[in-house]
Every structure is written in C-alpha cells, then in structure tokens.
Amino acid sequence: MPADPDLDTNECRTAIEQRDAACLADCLMAHSYVLIHLREEDPSDELGALTAELEGTPYLVAFTGQAQAAEFVELRADLFGDDEVGGFIVDGETLLDYVADGHGLLLNADLKSMCRVDAELISDVLDELNLD
C-alpha cells in the first residue's frame, strides 16, 4: 500500500478551516500516510511515531507521501543527527489510531503543504467515524 502523495491538502485545509469533521474524516480516511519512526535502543520498543509540540500542544506528525517524509527528514536533519530514521505506511483509520488523546495532527510538517488539525477537531473526526 503506497502512501498517497496526491492527497488534496487544499480539501483538507478547507475542512479544517470550516471545522467540518465529516468532510475531514472523508478526506483522511480515503488515503494512506507515512509515519516516521526513530529507532530506539530497546529492541522491544513498540513501533512509535514521531510527535512534535507547537505552542504547547502535542501533535502526531504524518506525511502524505514518501517524498514529503524524505524532504522533512532532509530539512530537519538537526532533529535526527546520526540516528537511523525509518518510516512506515498506514491507512487513514490506522493514522487516527496513532493520534493519542489530547494530540492534534500535523500533515506534512514544515512543508508548504502543511496542515494542522487541532486535538478538538481530531476528537470530532473520531466521533464522526465512531472511533475511540
């Protein structure tokens, strides 16, 4: 399952601006995403995904394609140093499963196509989809 670089981030952006949970749910569920995983020293570590904090709020970081994830890793080499950076592809429902309670979602962080979904709207999307 390849990630979908053709995700219409403008459609997502409009749904976010209008706080339209139903439209955003449709947008997110119809695609797949790349999550970045930093390898931990502990081999028993569960597969976790990169998170970030903006203005005091935590966010799951996801990308709409492998090219976007690679561009982010290049732009933010200072974050990763010599650590091995891996990625894995998830569908829309799995993406939402990775968003922890109280977290928002950053799509294509630090790129021109970045979309930021706050935790409240993510909660509304989960309610819309009957996901907890």
Give me the CATH number covering residue 60: 3.40.1350
Expressed as residue numbers, the domain containing 47 is 9-128
Please indicate, yes or no, if residue 101 is contained in any of the structural domains.
yes
User: Using an 8 Å Cβ cutoff, are 70 and 106 in contact?
Assistant: no
pLDDT score at 99: 95
Residue-by-residue pLDDT tens, the chain, 132 positions: 555 555 667 788 899 999 999 999 999 999 999 999 866 655 555 568 999 999 999 999 999 999 999 999 888 878 777 777 889 999 999 999 999 999 999 999 988 888 999 999 999 999 999 986
Q: Residue 3 domain-assigned? A: no
Residue 19 belongs to a domain: yes
The predicted pLDDT at position 51 comes to 92
The whole-number pLDDT of residue 3 equals 56
d(C-alpha 123, C-alpha 132), whole Å: 9
Is 1 part of any domain? no
**Nearest alpha carbon to residue 104 among 91, 123, 117, 90:** 117
Q: Domain count of the chain? A: 1
pLDDT at 10: 78
Question: What's the whole-model pTM score?
Answer: 0.85
Residue 27 in domain:
yes
Residue 128 CA to residue 10 CA, distance in Å, equals: 21
Q: Is residue 2 part of a domain?
A: no
